[in-house]
Amino acid sequence: MSVSDLDHVIIHIDDWDAAHQFYAGVLGMERVDNPEGAGNPLGAWAYRLGRQQINVHGPWPGQMDPCCPPPLNEVGRADLAFRTRLTPTECIELLEDHGIALAAGPLQRFGAQGWGTSVYCHDPSGNGIELISYAAKSVTDPAIGDTTR
């Protein structure tokens, strides 16, 4: 077997409006209707960035059977890392501007493109969010000093 790419991941949330504000408003992802949730009176959405997608399982009044068994259906158990072109300082400023608490960072982390610098927060449902930035050359960032990202 050979896989070619990451297609989508799934997160569980407890507030659609807060998720929209965070993923579309703060992180700038494209919000798309999810036809699999057409019967949800509150609606159902996914978020796209590039060729990847985050499918979202959220509140669904009257839904008796969970979409998947515990612990896979528990709110706030995901841990997602997103690549950004922003510097760590700019990421921190973006989070602060939206009233989102910094959970950790900036920290050096090893990601899909090698070593990068990450800052961490949580989405409104408690899912862990890592924002990792890479740079082609060494730069000085006041939040972490001189580093290669």
pLDDT single digits (tens) 72-114: 678 888 899 999 999 999 999 999 999 999 999 999 999 988 9
Residue extents of the structural domains in the chain: 8-63+72-148
Could you tell me which residues are beta bridge partners of residue 104?
120
For the segment(s) 8-63+72-148, the CATH number from 3.40.630.30, 3.40.50.1820, 3.10.180.10, 3.40.50.2300 is: 3.10.180.10
Res. 8: pLDDT tops 50: yes
Which residue did the predictor score with more confidence, 44 or 137? 44
Residue 136: pLDDT band with limits 50, 70, 90? very low
| Mean pLDDT of the residues in the chain | 84
Considering the entire predicted model, what is its pTM? 0.78
- Within 10 Å of residue 105's Cβ, how many Cβ atoms? 20
Q: What pLDDT is recorded for position 69?
A: 61
Res. 10: pLDDT tops 60: yes
Q: What pLDDT is recorded for position 147?
A: 44
Residue 6: pLDDT band with limits 50, 70, 90? confident
Q: What pLDDT is recorded for position 20?
A: 95
Contact 12, 57 (CB under 8 A): yes
Mean pLDDT value of segment 107-125: 94
Read off the pLDDT of residues 27-39 as tens digits, 9 standing for 90 and up.
Answer: 999 999 988 887 7
Angle CA(10)–CA(132)–CA(54) in degrees, nearest 5?
Answer: 15
Q: What pLDDT is recorded for position 3?
A: 65
Q: What Cα–Cα distance (Å) separates residue 18 from each residue in 25, 40, 63, 100?
A: 10, 17, 21, 12
